[in-house]
Structure 1
Amino acid sequence: MPEGDTIFRTARTLSRALVGKTVTRFHSEYAQLASANDQHPFTGQIITKVEARGKYLLMHFADPKDSTSERAGSERILATHMLMSGSWHIYRLGEPWQDSRANMRILIETADFVAVGFRIPVARLHTPQTLTRDKKIPQTERDVLSEDFDAKAAVERLQKHGREELGNALVRQDVLAGVGNVFKSEICFLERISPFRKVDTLTDTQIKKLVAAAQKLLAANVLEDSGDLVVTFSGKQRRTTHSADPGDSLWVYGRKGEPCRRCSTTIQRALQQPNARSTYWCPVCQPLSTATPQPVGQTANPPRDKKQKAPLE
């Protein structure tokens, strides 16, 4: 599933290509969007903003005939979530697509570019008023990559989930919008904390460092690398280590059975309940107990609390 960094970069690219442009063609395979387009065509409307909210991408449309004061009332907002398979691409007119037309779910065309949503499973239309009432779409102050992100409030929200395991609490979008399974595992490793620790066993300092690590890691993965150019199709290697080698880009995620980059202990993977999310960790660098991590090179398994034992695959 795309995480906050992917959605942020997607929104930035779409924004460069589309904001301020007039829609010349709109098509959707979804009945709700098609019906809305029939009743109030998107063609002729201006795309005023494209933004990321955690794992949601929001595209704002307004009627150019409306005055500034009226625009807020007529504005429509297309909210999409990629889940596991969806993606947005941007192409210049006539440029070959990198995916099949059979997978196209939403198409938005301007005089210069066409934005194509492939295999997007969640798409909803909002007004500014209904958007504020949608509890699944986070407000900007909860988005780790937003300029409005409130780190102090995030610490307090995390503390309120004291009886949850840390790995589960970190991916709650109402706590840290944008953090997913990859960053969850990497954040816990960097802070040397087991993702199976209950949040209320952590100190205030540890929780503050976890939130700071989330900000740092996601921000590092959205650094500008294309100036003000519109990159029509590209992939980006997610990186949490300092290595330039693509094979060494992550500390623990996706590395089950491989040696820890710190202590050479075998990295483990579990499906963390209750939602069976993939979690990776080093049992030595991240002991389940509150004791200090064992010295690098010591590979004995740390003691486990049977009630919090993680179900290994």
Structure 2
Amino acid sequence: MPEGDALYRFAEKLRSALDGKIIRAARSHGPGPVPRVEKIVGQRCTGVRSQGKNMLIGFDNGLALRGHLRMYGTWHVYEPGERWTRPEREVRLVLEVDGAVVVNFGAPVIELVEERSLGYHAPVSNLGPDLLDDAFDAEEALQRLRHPTRAMLTIGDAIMDQRAVAGAGNIWKHEALFHAGMNPWRRVSDLSDDDVRRLLGKAQGLLRASVGKENALGLTRRPTMNVYMRGGQPCRRCRTTLRSAPQGVDIRHTAWCPKCQPVVEGQLEPPRSRRDRPLVVRPGETNRQLSK
């Protein structure tokens, strides 16, 4: 699923194509509810922004398009007449302006709402502080993570709850926990406020670095992945074999370094997984041969 940094980059791309321009043509297709995008034809785009994992496109008649990509959606920008790289059957939304065609492929959520209602529209109004917002409120995020509905969750689950803190998904959950030296199976209730603040600071710094923003970690580019999708491989820091195990409602695998993110007394014991087994390469074999 595209995370906050990906939506931020999409918004930058769409902003350069749409901002201040008149919508010359628009169409939308299913599945699911299809917004009446004819209402924005002839209207001027007043701004494009991301909020958490949501794309918000405003117009001068007071309407706004909201898109959520979920797992497989994406935004493309083409020149008029340019061949699209994905098929028409995957199209959810097309916006045409002078000099550009904006196409959404595969997003399950495309809706047209009144801009003034966004403050009461649950998919947006219920979001926690956005990690990429220059005014990110870490104390509010801390209090939201302390909410009784999240207190007994593992921090690996809670940090991805967009109602607590917006923008972090599976990728930055992994990397923020690694940088904070925190085991993913520690409960929120077992963490001190300083622990949570440290984790939020790492998550904020990593996402800001990913989009080229100044950050407290001093990173100047998108960080290298230390643990995400690397279960069974050696830790880049200490060379210990990374473990991984299923975690969360959607049973995704979480990877971590048992040395850099140790189990602490009293926490939930991480489950075992076959993915923990290190890859053994026999003489004369290669990783590529073993994967066939």
Deviates more, 1:88-97 or 1:210-219: 88-97
Query: Please, which of 30, 49, 57 is the counterpart of residue 59 of structure 1?
Result: 57
CA-CA distance at 1:162 after TM superposition: 2.3
Indicate if the aligned counterparts of 1:93 and 1:112 stay in contact, CA closer than 8 A. Answer: yes
Cα deviation, 1:115-146, whole Å, max 9, x if unaligned, reads 00011111122113432222222578711111
Q: Secondary structure at the residue paired with 1:142?
A: coil
Indicate if the aligned counterparts of 2:127 and 2:163 stay in contact, CA closer than 8 A. Answer: no
CA-CA distance at 1:281 after TM superposition: 0.5
Q: For 2:70, give the aligned amino acid.
A: L
Q: For 1:207, give the aligned amino acid.
A: V
Alpha-carbon separation, structure 1, partners of 2:4 and 2:270: 29
Aligned to 1:278: 253
Aligned to 2:19: 19
- After TM superposition, the score normalised by the length of structure 1 is 0.79
Q: For 1:284, give the aligned amino acid.
A: K
Indicate if the aligned counterparts of 1:141 and 1:150 stay in contact, CA closer than 8 A. Answer: no
Indicate if the aligned counterparts of 1:257 and 1:268 stay in contact, CA closer than 8 A. Answer: yes
| Alpha-carbon spacing, 1:57–1:111, altered in 2? closer, same or farther (3 Å) | same
Q: Secondary structure at the residue paired with 1:132?
A: coil
Q: For 1:3, give the aligned amino acid.
A: E
Alignment of 1:34-113 (within 5 A): 36-38=36-38, 41-63=39-61, 75-113=62-100
Q: For 2:110, give the aligned amino acid.
A: A
Alpha-carbon separation, structure 2, partners of 1:18 and 1:42: 13
| Alpha-carbon spacing, 1:192–1:37, altered in 2? closer, same or farther (3 Å) | closer
CA-CA distance at 1:113 after TM superposition: 0.6
Aligned to 1:4: 4
Q: Secondary structure at the residue paired with 2:58?
A: strand
Indicate if the aligned counterparts of 2:19 and 2:47 stay in contact, CA closer than 8 A. Answer: yes
| Alpha-carbon spacing, 1:270–1:136, altered in 2? closer, same or farther (3 Å) | farther
Cα deviation, 1:250-276, whole Å, max 9, x if unaligned, reads 100011111011221111222203331
Indicate if the aligned counterparts of 1:53 and 1:138 stay in contact, CA closer than 8 A. Answer: no
Q: For 2:208, give the aligned amino acid.
A: A
Q: Secondary structure at the residue paired with 1:137?
A: helix
Aligned to 2:282: none
Q: For 1:25, give the aligned amino acid.
A: A
Unaligned runs of 5+ in 2: 214-220, 275-292
1:222 is the counterpart of 2:211: yes
CA-CA distance at 1:32 after TM superposition: 4.2
Alpha-carbon separation, structure 2, partners of 1:183 and 1:85: 18
Aligned to 1:268: 243
Aligned to 1:309: 270
Aligned to 1:228: none
Aligned to 2:102: 115
| Alpha-carbon spacing, 1:61–1:140, altered in 2? closer, same or farther (3 Å) | farther
Q: For 2:256, give the aligned amino acid.
A: W
Aligned to 2:279: none
Q: For 1:273, give the aligned amino acid.
A: G
Query: Please, which of 140, 143, 154 is the counterpart of residue 141 of structure 2?
Result: 154
Aligned to 2:233: 258
The root-mean-square deviation of aligned C-alpha atoms, in Å, is 2.0
Aligned to 1:66: none
Indicate if the aligned counterparts of 2:78 and 2:100 stay in contact, CA closer than 8 A. Answer: yes
| Alpha-carbon spacing, 1:119–1:252, altered in 2? closer, same or farther (3 Å) | same
Indicate if the aligned counterparts of 2:37 and 2:112 stay in contact, CA closer than 8 A. Answer: no
Cα deviation, 1:14-66, whole Å, max 9, x if unaligned, reads 111111000001011137445x235xx32101111111010111111223xxx
Query: Identity percentage over the alignment?
Result: 35
Q: For 1:211, give the aligned amino acid.
A: L
| Alpha-carbon spacing, 1:265–1:81, altered in 2? closer, same or farther (3 Å) | same
1:202 is the counterpart of 2:191: yes
Aligned to 1:297: none
Indicate if the aligned counterparts of 1:28 and 1:106 stay in contact, CA closer than 8 A. Answer: yes
Alpha-carbon separation, structure 2, partners of 1:50 and 1:61: 9
Q: Secondary structure at the residue paired with 2:151?
A: coil
Aligned to 1:301: none
Alpha-carbon separation, structure 1, partners of 2:202 and 2:227: 15
- After TM superposition, the score normalised by the length of structure 2 is 0.84
Q: For 1:200, give the aligned amino acid.
A: S
Alpha-carbon separation, structure 2, partners of 1:191 and 1:10: 28
Indicate if the aligned counterparts of 1:20 and 1:46 stay in contact, CA closer than 8 A. Answer: yes
CA-CA distance at 1:148 after TM superposition: 3.0
Size of the aligned set, in residue pairs, is: 264
Deviates more, 1:206-215 or 1:148-157: 148-157
Q: Secondary structure at the residue paired with 1:153?
A: helix
1:133 is the counterpart of 2:94: no
| Alpha-carbon spacing, 1:268–1:216, altered in 2? closer, same or farther (3 Å) | same
Alpha-carbon separation, structure 2, partners of 1:127 and 1:99: 30
